[in-house]
């Protein structure tokens, strides 16, 4: 049986907006992926403590293509459910984010197994985002989402609506019903309905996805309402305690175990160093929930603060292999930890077969491109870590670059790269974009670029200590490390950085990349990528 404690977050690194589904003894969590491809992360567990990434279902062009979509758009807030012998996945593909309008296209796809095959997505509507489906006991299905209101004289968040979904005709029918207007916290989104006993419980996210975030609960004896908000206030929030270790707590979904006990999964964030910035972005935590004698959901300790450690439920242990730390790229397929940006056609820029034992990247568009970047990356999961790569790359133009990158989005990255120019030949340099929404880049060591010989393997290294990034390099497999005298600020690589701080929603990734803005697609061969938490 499972011993001891569950330590939060259970899904570390960028894993927001969790939806949880139980099928027999198996639990599945689906989380948002935004502009990272493939879309939707699904983790599996049998003990609620140990989780294994088992797939990303939106993994081909017929299911998802995000080329050209802005940062922090793409796949928002999926909902995963099980009904009628099938998995149901609803999600939003966001095409526009800035300004009064949002283009938010909602789809549903189903599969007989969590491994697929997933049906062609059925378009539902574009009225809002954060969709979910409630499967009623009578067999009818109800689609929920928030409604986006672009009008300037009211809140953008126009409440929660519900509309019937006809699965046979694959379309919404009838008129949408507004079932909940939200509380004074505003920003009402992320709806999920669950039937428990005599009530339908509407779980929502409110207060915005920053430090005022919260999980709120409303209930009704009728599916169609009216829904009464919990007079006790939010079920989970850290909005009133800025020093609490798990911040931004909100956007939750509940699950009931076989013994009747209840748990909620929700997003949280950890902050380190002197700031409240979190490069890991919004992560997933779990908390026990109790149903009180008067029929409200409460955390068992009597307040709304999420705990870092909770008691593990009495379930059979679920063994999970730890994520790979050192990848030699010897496998025939890319390890599951990696993603890339937006495109369903990564074969245009990466291969593991042309030079076995190496990840070969063909240089594509510029750093920050919204279309095709040759960038393969994995989530940052800890505040203190080391990352290292080894590459062979001999550029012939200043327009060709390859190396190691710490990447949040097109306006937030630090890039340690090799290139060449007419003055010093092949060299190592650093390029940073420090939350500048004009996408203007800075070159911290431009006057101290490091000359390196052609034809030799390079090793590049990042050492991250909370808010500070330090870079170093070495020649060959055994050469000594050489520090680069520059300290880079990691706080720029967070949701909170920039003039629109708090309105971007992903997390920092560690990756390897190649860029060739000449269009000649110069290739770089990477022999490894290692990412290890500092001991």
Measured CA to CA, the distance from residue 120 to residue 293 in angstroms comes to 45
Query: H or E segment at 519?
Result: none
Measured CA to CA, the distance from residue 121 to residue 64 in angstroms comes to 9
Q: Give me the helices (H) in 140-296, please.
A: none
Dihedral sign, Cα of residue 205, residue 208, residue 209, residue 213: negative
The answer to whether 275 touches 491, Cβ cutoff 8 Å, is yes
Could you give phi then psi for residue 126, rounded to 5 degrees?
-135, 25
Residue 189 appears among annotated catalytic residues = yes
The answer to whether 452 touches 418, Cβ cutoff 8 Å, is yes
DSSP state of 155: -
- Tokens 């949040």 correspond to 408
Q: Which one of the listed residues 69, 130, 189, 495 is annotated catalytic?
A: 189
Supply angle C-alpha 450, 456, 462, rounded to 5. Answer: 55
Instruction: Count CA atoms within 13 Å of residue 289 on its CB side.
Output: 26
The answer to whether 364 touches 349, Cβ cutoff 8 Å, is yes
The answer to whether 195 touches 184, Cβ cutoff 8 Å, is no
Burial class (CB in 10 A: 0-12, 13-18, 19+), 188: buried
Residue 17 appears among annotated catalytic residues = yes
User: SS3 of 414, please?
Assistant: strand
Straight-line distance from the first to the last Cα atom of the chain, in angstroms, rounded to the nearest whole number:
29
C-beta neighbour count of 156 within 10 angstroms: 18
For 11, 52, 147, 418, the CA distances from 23, given in Å and listed in that order, are 20, 16, 30, 49
Measured CA to CA, the distance from residue 67 to residue 69 in angstroms comes to 6
Two tokens, residue 51: 């989780």
Burial class (CB in 10 A: 0-12, 13-18, 19+), 530: middle
Burial class (CB in 10 A: 0-12, 13-18, 19+), 111: middle
- Tokens 């509380």 correspond to 183
In 3D, which of 530, 532, 41, 20 has the Cα closest to residue 281? 41
33 Ramachandran zone, left/alpha/beta (phi>0; psi -120 to 50)? alpha
Q: What is the helix, strand, coil percentage profile of the chain, to 5? A: 0, 45, 50
Q: Which residues contact 271 (CB under 8 A, 6 or more apart)?
A: 247, 277, 278
Catalytic residues, which ones? 17, 189
């Amino acid at each position: 049986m499972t011993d001891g404690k569950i330590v939060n977050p259970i899904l570390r690194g960028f894993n927001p907006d969790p939806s949880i589904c139980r099928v027999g003894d198996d639990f599945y969590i689906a989380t948002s992926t935004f502009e990272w491809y493939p879309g939707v992360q699904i983790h599996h567990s049998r003990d609620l403590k140990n989780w294994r990434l088992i797939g990303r279902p939106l993994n081909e062009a017929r299911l998802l293509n995000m080329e050209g979509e802005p940062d922090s758009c793409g796949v928002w807030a999926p909902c995963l459910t099980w009904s009628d012998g099938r998995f149901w996945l609803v999600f939003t593909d966001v095409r526009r984010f800035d300004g009064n309008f949002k283009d938010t296209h909602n789809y549903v796809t189903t599969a007989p197994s969590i491994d697929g095959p997933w049906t062609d997505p059925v378009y539902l509507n574009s009225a809002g985002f954060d969709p979910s489906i409630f499967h009623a006991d009578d067999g009818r299905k109800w689609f929920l989402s928030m409604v986006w209101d672009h009008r300037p004289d009211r809140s953008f968040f126009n409440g929660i609506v519900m509309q019937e979904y006809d699965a046979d005709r694959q379309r919404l029918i009838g008129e949408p019903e507004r079932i909940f207007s939200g509380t004074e916290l505003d920003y009402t989104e992320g709806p999920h309905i669950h039937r428990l006993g005599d009530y339908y419980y509407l779980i929502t996210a409110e207060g915005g996805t920053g430090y005022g975030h919260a999980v709120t609960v409303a209930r009704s004896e009728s599916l169609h309402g009216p829904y009464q908000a919990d007079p006790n206030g939010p079920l989970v929030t850290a909005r009133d305690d800025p020093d609490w270790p798990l911040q931004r707590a909100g956007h939750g979904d509940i699950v009931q175990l076989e013994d009747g006990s209840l748990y909620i999964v929700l997003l949280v964030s950890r902050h380190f160093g002197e700031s409240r910035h979190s490069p890991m972005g919004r992560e997933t935590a779990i908390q026990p929930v109790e149903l009180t004698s008067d029929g409200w959901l409460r955390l068992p300790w009597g307040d709304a603060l999420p705990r870092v450690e909770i008691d593990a439920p009495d379930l059979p242990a679920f063994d999970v292999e730890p994520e790979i730390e050192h990848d030699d790229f010897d496998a025939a397929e890319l390890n599951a930890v990696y993603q890339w940006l937006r495109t369903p056609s990564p074969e245009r820029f990466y291969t593991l077969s042309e030079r076995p034992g190496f990840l070969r990247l063909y240089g594509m568009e510029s750093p920050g491109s919204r279309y095709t970047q040759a960038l393969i990356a994995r989530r940052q999961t800890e505040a203190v870590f080391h990352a290292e790569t080894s590459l062979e790359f001999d550029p012939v133009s200043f327009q060709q670059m390859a190396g190691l990158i710490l990447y949040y989005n097109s306006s937030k990255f630090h890039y340690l790269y090799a290139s060449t120019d007419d003055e010093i030949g092949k060299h190592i340099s650093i390029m940073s974009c420090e939350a500048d929404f004009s996408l203007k880049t800075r070159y911290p060591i431009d006057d101290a670029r490091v000359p390196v010989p052609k034809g030799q393997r390079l090793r590049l290294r990042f050492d991250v200590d909370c808010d500070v990034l330090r870079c170093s390099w070495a020649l060959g497999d055994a050469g000594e490390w050489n520090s680069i005298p520059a300290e880079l600020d990691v706080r720029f690589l967070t949701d909170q950085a920039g003039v629109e701080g708090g309105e971007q929603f992903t997390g920092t990734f560690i990756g390897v990349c190649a860029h060739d803005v000449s269009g000649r697609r110069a290739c770089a061969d990477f022999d490894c990528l290692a990412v290890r938490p500092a001991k």
